[in-house]
């Protein structure tokens, strides 16, 4: 695992929720490879979503959580930043533009389709109308939703179907050209057809961006990801190439989980 | 069996009673206002004279001054109250920590429960002299009434707005933060649009309340039948005129007062209907 291929690196990372006695994550060490898809699997409460939410520090919207260790983000220019050092609002904003997030349920903002995608761009200071239009169109195309939306860009995003809304949310995140996209069970609220479309999209996205996806769906993890991390009770139980984890795991626990003996 | 039927009838009666009361009150206002409506017609709305003849049998009555007084005091109250109430609601939902938000919320709900006569007394004896010494005038007048009205409706407006802002899904706010939005941008772009219906509803309900407020305004507006030339001038409002004149009015004057009451009733009715059914009843997806 050569360093130059990493986009993020989690080192001895522990996390304790505000008011909790025991840490929810214990000394996690996990590399995130650039332009690959890393899946995080494990039973409910194992800490996979907690870890994901630490990677863009969305936890910090709520006060009192404790971080230990390091999460390094490698920039395009090769420099690295420990994101746990971030204290100023401006730096949080920069981090979240570089490390985007897609949630379990689609979260279109109460505004038009165009404005949803343009939102992050406008926040980042792009005002020029034609530049906005170009980037919105590119993002919609990138999220495979341009054909369905190009005639109704001015309509409210709330009128779209669930699957379309989720792809819109992906377009919205892609528009910012992030280094990393974090997906928190992005298809668990969707029907199988929409799920297929989203999976296809995520697979294409890795050309441009590194992906970390939390999923409860074993097939999804095995179909989609290049690397898989199996988490259990706040520990990283096993991490390896996805084929290795699913075909020949070293830990008994991992095997039991992926074969459905518990979970 | 018998008890069930009795209970059913009783609850049916209770439920329909409110409807009949509403219709009944409207019918009575409308009937008693007939004499004045025939005499003055729609000109009533634009006539600024309110004078009984010496023998008390007739006179010229127009609602212009109390209507203007009601509108102006309400507008002053709304202009002051709306931004403050929004600020309070935003502070409580998005900025304050739990330890501060809780006691402030309770204080706001208690403020909303204070009887209006207490606001009137406080306004007259304590606040009116302050207004007089800072902006001039007689102390009592439009401005004093408007400011105290604003103080009375702020808690009410803030509480409804806060409740409606609280319905914004957490994940929606998180996704805006995840796009790199600041707290201010999340409030402006996500929370405000999402709770727009509730915010407008609370403004309109507060408007209805300000229009109909009697006691506090009676203390503070001056109760003078004249058009205010200046924001600190005394004038009168519909509820105040009704409360002050009912005891001695007769015949045509009495009927004219019913006419005024009818106008207030219809306006308040529409305002509250719009607020309740259009803005507060509709749930945003």
Question: Which stretch of DSSP H or E encloses residue B106?
Answer: helix B98-112
Residues of B in contact with A124 (CB under 8 A): 180
Please check the confidence at residue A17 and state whether its pLDDT lies above 90.
yes
Please check the confidence at residue B278 and state whether its pLDDT lies above 90.
no
Shortest alpha-carbon distance between residue B190 and chain A (Å): 6
> Which residues is A15 bridged to in the sheet?
A25, A67
Q: Give alpha helix (H) positions in B215-250.
A: 215-220, 238-245
Q: Is the ipTM of this complex over 0.85?
A: yes
What is the reported pTM?
0.81
| Class of the CATH domain delimited by A3-258 | alpha beta
Dihedral (CA of B115, B118, B123, B124) sign: positive
Residue B54's pLDDT band (cuts 50, 70, 90): confident
Mapped onto helix, strand or coil, the DSSP state of residue A155 is coil
> Which residues is A227 bridged to in the sheet?
A38, A241
Output phi, psi for A44, to 5 deg: -55, 140
Q: Find the CB nearest B180 among A93, A109, A111.
A: A93
Residues of A in contact with B180 (CB under 8 A): 92-94, 96-97, 120, 123-124, 176
A96 and B177 within 8 Å at the Cβ level: the answer is: yes
Report the alpha-carbon distance of residue B182 to residue A35 in Å, rounded: 29
Shortest alpha-carbon distance between residue B213 and chain A (Å): 36
Residue-range domains of chain B with CATH: 61-280 (1.10.3720.10)
Contact of A67 with A15, CB cutoff 8 Å: yes
Please check the confidence at residue B246 and state whether its pLDDT lies above 80.
yes
Report the alpha-carbon distance of residue A142 to residue A201 in Å, rounded: 8
- Please, which residues have CB within 8 angstroms of residue B43's CB and are 6 or more apart in sequence? B62
Report the alpha-carbon distance of residue B127 to residue B129 in Å, rounded: 6
Which of A109, A115, A158 to probe by mutation at the B interface, max B CB count within 10 Å? A109
Report the alpha-carbon distance of residue A161 to residue A165 in Å, rounded: 6
Whether residue A124 lies within 8 A of chain B, CB to CB, comes out as yes
Q: Find the CB nearest B174 among A97, A103, A176.
A: A103
Residue ranges of domains in chain A? 3-258
pLDDT tens digits for range B172-198: 999 999 998 999 999 999 999 999 888
Residues of B in contact with A111 (CB under 8 A): 189, 193
Whether residue A18 lies within 8 A of chain B, CB to CB, comes out as no
Q: Find the CB nearest B194 among A56, A110, A119.
A: A110
Shortest alpha-carbon distance between residue A123 and chain B (Å): 7
A111 and B189 within 8 Å at the Cβ level: the answer is: yes
A123 and B285 within 8 Å at the Cβ level: the answer is: no
Query: Measuring CA to CA, how many Å separate A210 from each of A8, A246, B115?
Result: 9, 21, 62
- Please, which residues have CB within 8 angstroms of residue A124's CB and are 6 or more apart in sequence? A97, A176, B180
On average, the pLDDT of chain A sits at: 91
Report the alpha-carbon distance of residue B22 to residue B27 in Å, rounded: 9
């Amino acid at each position: 695992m050569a360093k130059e291929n990493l986009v993020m690196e989690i080192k001895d990372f522990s996390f304790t929720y505000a008011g909790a006695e025991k840490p929810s994550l214990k000394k996690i060490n996990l590399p995130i490879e650039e332009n690959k898809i890393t899946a995080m699997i494990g039973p409910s409460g194992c800490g996979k979503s907690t870890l994901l939410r630490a990677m863009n520090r969305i936890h910090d919207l709520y006060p009192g959580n404790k971080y230990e260790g390091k999460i390094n983000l490698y920039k395009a220019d090769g420099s690295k930043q420990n994101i746990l050092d971030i204290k100023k609002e401006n730096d949080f904003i920069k981090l979240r533009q570089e490390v985007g997030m897609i949630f379990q349920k689609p979260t279109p903002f109460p505004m038009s389709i165009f404005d949803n995608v343009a939102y992050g761009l406008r926040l980042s200071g792009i005002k020029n109308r034609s530049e906005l239009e170009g980037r919105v169109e590119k993002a919609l195309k990138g999220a495979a939703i341009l054909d369905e939306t190009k005639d109704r860009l001015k309509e409210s995003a709330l009128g779209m179907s669930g699957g379309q809304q989720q792809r819109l949310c992906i377009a919205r995140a892609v528009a910012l050209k992030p280094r990393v996209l974090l997906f928190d069970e992005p298809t668990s609220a969707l029907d199988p057809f929409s799920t297929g479309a989203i999976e296809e999209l995520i697979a294409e996205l890795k050309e441009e961006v590194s992906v970390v996806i939390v999923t409860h769906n074993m097939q999804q993890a095995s179909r989609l990801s290049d690397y898989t991390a199996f988490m259990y009770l706040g520990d990283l139980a096993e991490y390896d190439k996805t084929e290795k984890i699913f075909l020949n795991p070293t830990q008994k626990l991992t095997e039991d989980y992926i074969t459905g003996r518990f979970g | 069996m018998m008890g069930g039927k009795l209970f059913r009838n009783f609850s049916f009666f209770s439920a329909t009673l409110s409807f009949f009361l509403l219709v009944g009150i409207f019918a009575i206002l409308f009937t008693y206002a007939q004499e004045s409506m025939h005499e003055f017609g729609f000109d009533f709305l634009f006539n600024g004279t309110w004078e009984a003849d010496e023998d008390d049998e007739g006179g010229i009555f127009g609602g212009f001054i109390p209507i203007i007084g009601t509108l102006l005091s309400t507008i002053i109250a709304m202009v002051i109250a709306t931004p403050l109430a929004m600020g309070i609601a935003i502070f409580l939902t998005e900025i304050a920590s739990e330890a501060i938000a809780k006691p402030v919320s309770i204080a706001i709900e208690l403020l909303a429960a204070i009887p209006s006569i207490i606001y009137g007394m406080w306004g007259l004896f304590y606040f009116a002299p302050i207004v007089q010494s800072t902006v001039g005038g007689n102390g009592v007048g439009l401005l004093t009434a408007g400011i105290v009205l604003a103080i009375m409706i702020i808690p009410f407006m803030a509480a409804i707005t806060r409740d409606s802002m609280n319905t914004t899904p957490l994940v929606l706010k998180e996704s805006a933060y995840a796009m790199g939005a600041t707290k201010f941008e999340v409030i402006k772009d996500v929370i405000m649009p999402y709770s727009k219906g509730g915010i407008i509803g609370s403004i309109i309900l507060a408007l209805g309340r300000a229009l109909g407020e009697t006691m506090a305004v009676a203390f503070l507006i001056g109760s003078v039948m004249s058009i205010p030339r200046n924001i600190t001038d005394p004038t009168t409002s519909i509820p105040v005129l009704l409360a002050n004149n009912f005891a001695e009015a007769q015949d045509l004057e009495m009927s004219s007062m019913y006419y005024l009451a009818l106008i207030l009733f219809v306006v308040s009715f529409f305002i509250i209907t719009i607020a309740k059914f259009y803005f507060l009843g509709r749930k945003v997806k």
